[in-house]
Amino acid sequence: MITSTTSPQTNLPISQVLSENEDQLKYEFRNCSDIQIRALQSPASLNCLVVYTDGLIDAKLLEQVLIPSISSLNSTNRDDLAFKYKEIVDLSEVTEGVLEGKVVILLEGQSFGFLAELSDYKQRSVEEPTTEASIRGPREGFTESLRTNTSLIRRKIKSTQLKFQAYEIGTTTKTPMVLVYMEGYVIPEVLAEARKRINNIHTDRIFDSAYVEEFIEDHPMSVFPQILNTERPDTVAASLMEGKVALIVDGSPNALIIPMTFWSGFQSAEDHYERFIYVSAVRCLRILLVFLSIFLPSIYVALTTFHPQMIPLNLMMSIAASREGLPFPTVVETLLMEMMFEGLREAGLRLPKAIGSAVSIVGALVIGEAAVQAGFISAPIVMIVAGTGIASFAFPRYSLALPFRLLRFPMLIAGGLLGIYGVAMGIVFILIHLVTLNSFGVPYLKPIAPFTRKQWKDTLIRMHHRFKK
């Protein structure tokens, strides 16, 4: 009996005839060389099938424990399997169990089977996050294992109020995911909205938390992220205690935190482990550098091109002397250097670590110096682009650095075409866009706009822990 279909039959029961089950499973798993279907026979002539995925189970435990116990079965002790393993009745449960890394046992003359938990996934050990390294604080980061990640959070918050609500998303990949929240702390509206959007995800594939992020974010066409991602369990635990919600997807080392505000993108995990006076000063400096990274090139181009009277005389004379005989206008020079800098930074990320940093740093110095010596660009442009690049490295969150790197170019063009008025118009457009953004019902610029006094204790500055609740 072979059903002509390419997917498991949800209502097809397990047959009492073992050969029919074997034929059906071989058809379902055709051209799947990693699926093992082994026929065994005990000394009491009791036929059975053992089905599993090679590479997803503990082969040593299978050969030394499970197979010998199955080989010793007879008509009197075969019912003992029901006490050891989970009972299944559909062939769809067989295929799902095998694909999840379990071992399926089918016996002759029985219309049900058993699932044995022998999973042995090859997974990465818990290591320090590479994208969120800190000098002080925990050094453990999420891995690609869902249960490892949930255990790291459970170690931080040993409370029955910590809840893990399980989901399975992706009709084909069937990716496990958990919704994490603190009962009694979580914002009810955010939790309800998160559940609603997760249930509305309709896709056949989910391989990473980034897929989920695009499905549930409020404004997909905005360049600004509305969901925070992190590799740090302590960051997730702290966010849960603040009433937020986290999503952890199996196979992804990045957890999602919702809702996200604009100011949370400037906060580093290390901010809560250093002294609050130092952290407050560094956070203000960080915000200043971030805004310089987007506006410095456009302001320089606008002033030197349209408003030289606003620059001190000696400085303007030095800039004019450096530009003597150059073939390109200031805006073109700056665009070329910015594109070169971004290209070197991207190349440094994609190349092997041993040579990536050398290419990005040495390449920028060599190309900048060669361009000045050849008379293509002026020396002040190299300094402006270098300063902008240094300021852009102050972002503690990589996802928030990307929109600022992207918006730098339209701001630069606006400054080159309309001067300081173009820069002002660009700032107004960005502010209007930020004010209209929401993350799961929470205003993106909260607590600045709208102004919420109580939440200022951990926004632009960080207050002492004794003053925070």
DSSP string, 381-398: HHHHHHHHHHHHTT-S-H
Percent of the chain with pLDDT over 90: 45
Q: What is the dihedral of CA 180, 185, 187, 193, to 10 degrees?
A: 20
Give the pLDDT score at 356. 63
Query: Left, alpha or beta for 419 (phi > 0: left; psi -120 to 50: alpha)?
Result: left
pLDDT at 257: 96
Confidence of residue 3 (pLDDT cuts 50, 70, 90): very low
In the chain, domain spans? 18-116, 146-260, 272-457
Model confidence band, residue 41 (pLDDT cutoffs 50, 70, 90): confident
User: According to the model, what pLDDT value does residue 8 have?
Assistant: 44
- Three-state DSSP state, 47: strand
Comparing 454 with 198, the larger pLDDT belongs to 198
- Say yes or no to pLDDT of 226 above 90: yes
How many angstroms separate the Cα of 123 from the Cα of each of 56, 99, 142? 11, 17, 11
Which one-letter amino acid corresponds to residue 320? A
- Pairing of the two strands 255-258 and 245-249: antiparallel
The predicted-structure confidence for 301-327, as pLDDT tens digits, reads as follows 999 999 999 989 898 998 888 888 888
For 140-198, what is each residue's pLDDT tens digit? 999 999 989 999 999 999 999 999 999 999 999 999 999 999 999 999 999 999 999 99
Q: What predicted TM-score, i.e. pTM, was given to this entire model? A: 0.84
Label residue 408 by pLDDT band (50, 70, 90): very high
Percent of the chain residues past pLDDT 70, beyond the cut: 91
The confidence band for 5, taking pLDDT boundaries of 50, 70 and 90, is very low
According to the model, what pLDDT value does residue 361 have? 62
Segments in 48-90 forming alpha helices (H):
59-61, 67-71, 81-84
Confidence of residue 4 (pLDDT cuts 50, 70, 90): very low
Pair 343, 303: CB distance under 8 Å: no
Q: Is the pLDDT of residue 6 over 50?
A: no
- What is the chain's percent helix, strand, coil content, to nearest 5? 50, 15, 35
Q: What is the mean pLDDT of residues 40-54?
A: 83
